[in-house]
Structure 1
Amino acid sequence: MKFLYTHITSLLFVILMASCMSKPTTPPSSPNDITGKTWKLTELNGRPITLKNPKSNPHFSLHMKDMRYEGNGSCNGIGGTFEIKPEIMRIKFNQGMSTMIACEDLETEQLFLKALLTADNYTVNGNTLSLNKAKMAPLAKFVWQK
């Protein structure tokens, strides 16, 4: 009986040690997690965007490590800081910086930047992100592609 008890105790000890040495797993991100992804603009003020240069689609990414956003308005690089409360889907983009290159799609770029700076909340539906102001219609819609 003592022999069986010793083996069971040894086995439990080995299992415990193995579980302690395994790598920790990171919890899966929430479907509403909008950070660490590149969001491409598809719609502004309820209208699909039309670009003179379709290769320069406006986009942005949020980086939690330094609480910064970065992207491109269509021809100018943009960046700044942001604040986010994902549990209540609130967001605030702070005035940042932008390069100053003239381009064909400058009007779209200006509306895109205005939407970012005006937004105070967001919604996520599948791979679509909407930036909103209060409970009004979305200011801008984006799509994330894997």
Structure 2
Amino acid sequence: MKSLRYYLGSFILIIFFAASCMSKPSTPNPPTQGNNDITGKVWKLTEINGKPIALKDPKSNPHFKLNMADMRYEGNGSCNGVGGTFEIKPEIMRIKFNQGMSTMIACEDLETEQLFVKALLSADNYSVNGNTLTLNKARMAPLAKFVLQ
């Protein structure tokens, strides 16, 4: 009887150790909380294709926010909501916005909105300088500049 308890206890210990050593599915590491972390913040558009934006309705400034919890971006192009998924590699400052959804309301600043959405979808990298975020495509001139809202 004593040997049965010994083997049963040993078997339980082996199972416990084996279970604790099993690998768990990996989850992406969130970016470090440094000054280059662009997630969880609202970024307001200030410049598109090298030119300051000129809005007919300054109250509806295009902006976006990156949500790491579900890897989605959301924002407003001026009068239409925009959103979708994104991929980010903060350690090398790479980003990719995937085509998502948008409402389709006509407005006075529709041209700026279309350029804003095009800049998001074209960007493949970014840079941060203080409170300014720049979205870029390869090594070309910046597509768009944003400031913290």
Identity of aligned residues (%): 84
**Displacement after TM superposition at 1:37 (Å):** 0.1
User: Out of 111, 114, 133, which is 1:110 matched to?
Assistant: 114
Q: Counterpart of 1:110 in 2: which secondary structure?
A: helix
TM-score of the superposed pair, with normalisation by structure 1? 0.80
> Residue 44 of structure 2 aligns to which amino acid in structure 1?
K
Are 2:52 and 1:51 equivalent residues in the alignment? no
For the aligned residue pairs, the C-alpha RMSD in angstroms reads 0.8
User: Out of 104, 107, 117, which is 1:100 matched to?
Assistant: 104
**Where has structure 1 moved over 6 Å in runs of 4 or more?**
none
Are 2:127 and 1:123 equivalent residues in the alignment? yes
> Residue 42 of structure 2 aligns to which amino acid in structure 1?
T
Are 2:44 and 1:40 equivalent residues in the alignment? yes
TM-score of the superposed pair, with normalisation by structure 2? 0.78
Cα offsets for 1:42-68 (capped at 9, x unmatched): 000000000000000000000000000
| Unaligned ranges ≥5, structure 2 | 1-31
**Displacement after TM superposition at 1:29 (Å):** 1.4
**Displacement after TM superposition at 1:137 (Å):** 0.8
Q: Counterpart of 2:92 in 1: which secondary structure?
A: coil
Cα offsets for 1:70-92 (capped at 9, x unmatched): 00000000000000000000000
Aligned ranges 1:70-89 → 2 under 5 Å: 70-89=74-93
Q: Counterpart of 1:55 in 2: which secondary structure?
A: helix
> Residue 78 of structure 2 aligns to which amino acid in structure 1?
S
